[in-house]
Structure 1
Amino acid sequence: MELTPPPATTEHPVGTPGFEFEKSSNPASGTAIATGSVVTYTLTGVNTGETGLDEVVITDDLSQVLPYAKFNDDVVVKVGDHVVAAPILDGTELTWTGSLAEGATVTITYSVTVNADAAGETLANVATTSATPPGGQTITPPPSETEHSVLTPLAITGGQLAPWILVLSVLLLISGGALMLLRRRTKTA
């Protein structure tokens, strides 16, 4: 008698991939800054899926930043709590390529110092990213951008008035009013 085993069925579910990306800055995007200011940028990519990501590429276009600011060469890249290889600055593009395990986060931080001759300019940049899961379709989150207008010297001096200027102004007004009253009295007398 020949035994025939029942058919065997196995399932190998493939996790759904996911990836989110955001760029932020300190001071916050939209803030007006002075020449000589330091702007710190942070790029954050998060594997939100149920599978690892074989290749993650983050590219930050600095073509509208570096003509007006100095790259401080202080890039730090962390995946989780571990420092990993820094991105490459090629001309005006900062690019990092790596992989991310399920649930992992990559954080890229760097800064620039605004040039003295950048008054009236705008530092604007856009970062893009893509992530590819094993054997899957590339994920491309929306670009993320920051923008900072650089104050002109006139705008920078528009701070608070010194208290002595206010006191002097009030004294001049009172003196002028007293002189006008004195002149009127002498004319009518």
Structure 2
Amino acid sequence: MKTAVASVPDQIMKRARAAGRGGVYTPSDFLNVAARAAVDQALSRLVKAGKLRRLARGLYDFPKVHPKLGQLSPAPDDVAHALARETGSQVQIAGARAANALGLTTQVPAKNTYLTDGPSRRVVLGKRVVDLRHASPKHLIAPGSPAGTVVQALRHVGAVRAADVAQVASRQLTVSDKKTLAFSAVQAPAWMRPTLVSIANAVAAGIDG
């Protein structure tokens, strides 16, 4: 007796449920389930059935639901990473988003900027914007790592707040992150290097102390 094979929509939903609500996907995430045309058709059916939500062209989520507010917007990081998976690229939070992630600012920016070695793309999610900007290698230092976030936060706040960045990053980064920062410092602009090196050197101080 043959075992019934689950339909493409059922297989997609099984994976989405296993990952939990809040997951963000592109068709490429399901190409091991079926061919692209079948995946596109299945996603369209799931959206019409109200099981998944279409966020933008080729971008979907399994939304979290609040008892009073209804469906919630996905996390900007999840959107950025889904778009990066689609193109096989890397992303790194940048600008005010990086400063906020490091704790240098308390204000959550409405515009979430990411640098990427893939194509640029902007997605509007209600009042929030996820903006992926193609960047050259010299601007994309240690992408996707806490060390990369420190570099972008420092770039955003500037030399005037370099001491603040050093104080926060020295405390937050792990030994491994600081090694990455030390290795990557040479790629950063000259004005950043003393601050990045001082953060990296905090490894020795922490071990010796």
Which of the five TM-score ranges fits, normalised by the shorter chain? under 0.3
TM-score norm. by structure 2 comes to 0.22
Q: Considering only CA atoms, is the larger Rg found in Structure 1 or Structure 2? A: 1
Greater strand share, structure number: 1
Alignment TM-score, normalising by the size of structure 1: 0.23
Which structure has greater helix proportion?
2
